[in-house]
Structure 1
Amino acid sequence: MLKKLSLLAATFIVATGTALADPVSGGRANAVIQPEPPSLMLGLVQNGPTQMVAGNVYESLLRYGPDLEPLPQLAKSWEISEDGLTYTFHLYDNVKWHDGEPFSAEDVVFSADVFLRETHPRLRQSLKYVESITAPDANTVVFKLNEPFGPFIGIFEVGTMPMIPKHIYEGTDYKANPANNTPIGTGPFKFTEWTKGSHILLTKNEDYYIDGLPYLDEIYWHIIPDAASRSVAFETGVVDILPGGSVENFDVPRLTAMENTCVTDKGWEFIGPLSWMWLNNREGPTADKRFRQAVMYAMDREFAKDALWNGLGKVAQSPVSSSTRFFSD
């Protein structure tokens, strides 16, 4: 495999309107989702579009800041034992699933130790370090490891460990459960409607356990298959938010120059996206390491960054993204 060629700085483009000193409750966010998710059941499907939409419906124990430091989500606090073998999480009180049923530590045990062990290949690898997951009481969960595993505190985000309602899925065929079509989580927004090929509507969770949140009443995800049409939708005010990858890179400078528009490349730190050339290292001329090295040195990666990504990225230094905690120059 050739070394990575370019780190793509995917941009979010947002129509800002009039700047306000403080957030105001109410309103709808019109966003693009591309491509259309195959499913919104985050415990079964973890691709990018599914995570972007369903990450507002489902939650995990933690979320992560720009420096990837752990922050509270369903867990309001946590402790790690000195030997690195015991992780104890204390859950928020009075959290409810979107159907009104109470959320508890038993849902965490079911999600991590039963449902996701079966359905989530990425999490399954990290759970190899887990000896037991227990719920000593309704608001406490204890993960006991069989050996110290430094990255363990980083696996509690919604795309890796979404919380699944035990009262809906226990004892069922997970893939055939009818609730997969109407996902139920604990997040700030509830699933309301999905018209295939048109839109996905999420509405405010009025019983959200954090007072005052969310601010928005709705998130309306527009499904617009053509990139040029997505650009026009933003220009004409049909949509307010273009997530990274929604439009062609060459359209980004024109759109970001519009009045009342802001752009950011933040928010992808956890994912650490990389683009690379994948070569066959088992047979043929590319199996020779010297051949792959020659390709590496011959390729003008600065040109690729500027011509293919319109300068929206930087040349990678290694197979480890520079946005991750494990990168070293």
Structure 2
Amino acid sequence: MTSELDRLPFGPISRRLFLGGAGAAAATLFIGQNGKAFAAETGQKGGTLTMAVWPDPTALVCAFTSSDQVVLSSAKMTEGLVAYGYDFLPRPRLATAWEPSADGLSIKFTLRQGVKWHDGTDFTSADVAFSFLNLLKPNHPRGRGTFANLTAVDTPDAHTAILRFSKPSPVVMNALSGMESPILPKHIYENGDPLRNPANNAPIGTGPFKFVEWKRGSHIILERFDGYWAQERPYLDRIVMRIINDAGARAAALETGEILLAGPNPVPYSELARFRANPKFDVETRGEELLQHAQAIEVNLRNPILAKVEVRQAILQAVNREAMARAVWYQSGRPATSPIPYQAGDLRLANPPAYPFDVKKAEALLDAAGYPRGADKMRFKLRLDWLPLGEANLRAAEFIKQSLQRVGIDITIRSSDLPTYLKTIYGDYDYDLNVFLYAPIFDPSMGLQRFYWSKAAKPGSPFVIASGYSSPEMDKILESASTEMDPAKRKALFHDFQRLAMTDLPVLPLLDLDYTAIISKRVHGVMDMPEGIRGSFENVWLSA
């Protein structure tokens, strides 16, 4: 059967970001002009951008998952109320103006007029209200925390939406981009289970590109939406996302020009120097500012062995994270000292409880926990799962196995495909240790609360607390931080969060990471906004 693919030719963080975003928005009314795209370099029209995605995404709409593969495609077809610039302040998108109330209990949005869904239906405030209350708040992995205090969305007319909160919610103004909180069409989702809606695999959005085809295991095709609200955008005619699971194959496809863009971390880190030396490519570390990245081990506290904090401390002290950064990430990472990464500046606590590499200390902790070495020199057995998104995670699992076996912990590495992994870890909670990647995001209430707040737990929700951790003290800290409007007090709460997180250790921070994308010099405009490869691509264009 002929597919659409057969017919194609190939060829330093601002403090306002973390602590003052909502307050800054409250002081200023941001107004955009209808039909105007963000300032960007004027480009050439036409052409097909071919890029790599891996593995095959589980869906194409990111309202119900934070999986990177889903975000990469979703954000080109769906939009949020705002986008964010490199100054981390909001820019107009589906909303042209916003006005938070002085008490922090409401935000009034003026919506862009003349916007159409890809099926020709008018975009209205009813779509905004339905998206927040019926889709994002109950179903998005981070939405249950971000929008916990959202109680209503008033729609006095078709182009006004007023979000109302039971408590101040400063995090919300940091969570309104298309890659985080996409607005979806009420008329498509109002009937039936939204998680099973066919539009999750064939999206209908308002974005610059519309869905054409998804052939699983092969490709995803998007094409220019001629009814897009931003005049003269997008530049590209089509985007083809090829599913290329093998890192070597991605490297070869880049070098031959079969694909023009790949990320994040598309090739083994050992090969980055070769691409940096190639004048045909840019190796970008920009485009990750909104997310930030880290690697950690989530511990299943339901296991009675791992329920002992001395065992968790020993595991962390048994891993030489400096050596891990060299061996696994080729110095594109550095040892983590808390769940909040180094990119966060002074939001990160300077001296949290520390667990430096110390094999003797790890051995002593395991002995004190009541687990001496047996006749086989091992103390106990654990299973180690790893997120199947790139070989670096497998190498990390192998490094951790060697480290833990040195102190007498017998490790079995379990490998699986992504759907099986997600079900095992986040659906069945059938694991011991899980080495995974996560995005702390520029506001910890968005990116980190989901791993520590007991009320976020929901079986089957990927990349949300799976450890079984429950601490009333932690819940109180996180809930207070999510409602605190004073920047200094909110910062102090995040410092308290780190102290407790590094004392209780339901998650063992390993490394803060610097992600990369490899982009042909023929491709322009990808980094116009800090979403980078996860952006809308409305300003992306190709030179000859």
| TM interval, short-chain normalised | 0.7 to 0.9
* Equivalent residue runs for 1:56-75 within 5 Å: 56-75=76-95
Q: Highest relative contact order (Cα 8 Å, sep 6+), 1 or 2?
A: 1
Task: Work out whether residues 125 and 157 of structure 2, in 8 Å CA contact, stay in contact via their aligned partners in 1.
Answer: yes
C-alpha distance in structure 2 between counterparts of 1:304 and 1:69, whole Å: 35
The answer for the alignment partner of 1:327 in structure 2 is: 347
Q: Does 1:212 align with 2:232?
A: yes
Residue 254 of structure 1, aligned match among 274, 286, 290: 274
Q: Which moved more, 1:38-47 or 1:187-196?
A: 38-47
Q: Deviations 1:189-216 (Å, cap 9, x if unpaired)?
A: 1111112211111111111111221111
C-alpha distance in structure 2 between counterparts of 1:266 and 1:316, whole Å: 20
| Partner amino acid, structure 1, of 2:286 | K
Task: Work out whether residues 61 and 71 of structure 2, in 8 Å CA contact, stay in contact via their aligned partners in 1.
Answer: no
Residue 254 of structure 2, aligned match among 209, 234, 240: 234
C-alpha distance in structure 2 between counterparts of 1:31 and 1:326, whole Å: 36
C-alpha distance in structure 2 between counterparts of 1:119 and 1:285, whole Å: 33
| Partner amino acid, structure 1, of 2:250 | R
C-alpha distance in structure 1 between counterparts of 2:186 and 2:263, whole Å: 32
The answer for the alignment partner of 1:167 in structure 2 is: 187
1:22 CA drift (Å): 3.9
C-alpha distance in structure 1 between counterparts of 2:65 and 2:312, whole Å: 34
Q: Deviations 1:196-249 (Å, cap 9, x if unpaired)?
A: 211111111111111221111111101112111111000111000011132222
| Partner amino acid, structure 2, of 1:196 | R
C-alpha distance in structure 2 between counterparts of 1:325 and 1:60, whole Å: 27
Q: Deviations 1:241-297 (Å, cap 9, x if unpaired)?
A: 011132222122212221221111122222221112344667666655455445545
Residue 147 of structure 1, aligned match among 126, 149, 167: 167
Task: Work out whether residues 62 and 156 of structure 1, in 8 Å CA contact, stay in contact via their aligned partners in 2.
Answer: yes
The answer for the alignment partner of 1:17 in structure 2 is: none
* Equivalent residue runs for 1:41-60 within 5 Å: 41-60=61-80
Residue 266 of structure 1, aligned match among 261, 279, 286: 286
Residue 138 of structure 1, aligned match among 152, 155, 158: 158
C-alpha distance in structure 2 between counterparts of 1:288 and 1:175, whole Å: 37
C-alpha distance in structure 2 between counterparts of 1:254 and 1:27, whole Å: 28
C-alpha distance in structure 2 between counterparts of 1:150 and 1:325, whole Å: 19
Change (3 A) 1:121 1:290: closer
* Gap regions ≥5 residues in structure 2: 1-40, 351-544
Residue 105 of structure 1, aligned match among 80, 103, 125: 125
Q: Which moved more, 1:171-180 or 1:102-111?
A: 171-180
| Partner amino acid, structure 2, of 1:198 | S
**Where is the helix percentage greater, Structure 1 or Structure 2?**
2
Residue 90 of structure 1, aligned match among 100, 110, 113: 110
Identity of aligned residues (%): 35
Change (3 A) 1:226 1:283: closer
The answer for the alignment partner of 1:39 in structure 2 is: 59
Cα RMSD for the two superposed structures:
2.3
| Partner amino acid, structure 2, of 1:225 | N
Q: Deviations 1:82-129 (Å, cap 9, x if unpaired)?
A: 111110111111000001111011110111112334432421222221
User: What is the TM-score normalised by the length of structure 2?
Assistant: 0.53
Count residues with an aligned counterpart.
Answer: 309
User: What is the TM-score normalised by the length of structure 1?
Assistant: 0.86
C-alpha distance in structure 1 between counterparts of 2:346 and 2:161, whole Å: 27
Residue 315 of structure 1, aligned match among 329, 335, 352: 335
C-alpha distance in structure 1 between counterparts of 2:144 and 2:345, whole Å: 21
Q: Which moved more, 1:279-288 or 1:173-182?
A: 279-288
C-alpha distance in structure 2 between counterparts of 1:325 and 1:215, whole Å: 37
1:138 CA drift (Å): 0.9
The answer for the alignment partner of 2:209 in structure 1 is: 189
C-alpha distance in structure 1 between counterparts of 2:91 and 2:249, whole Å: 37
Change (3 A) 1:117 1:292: closer
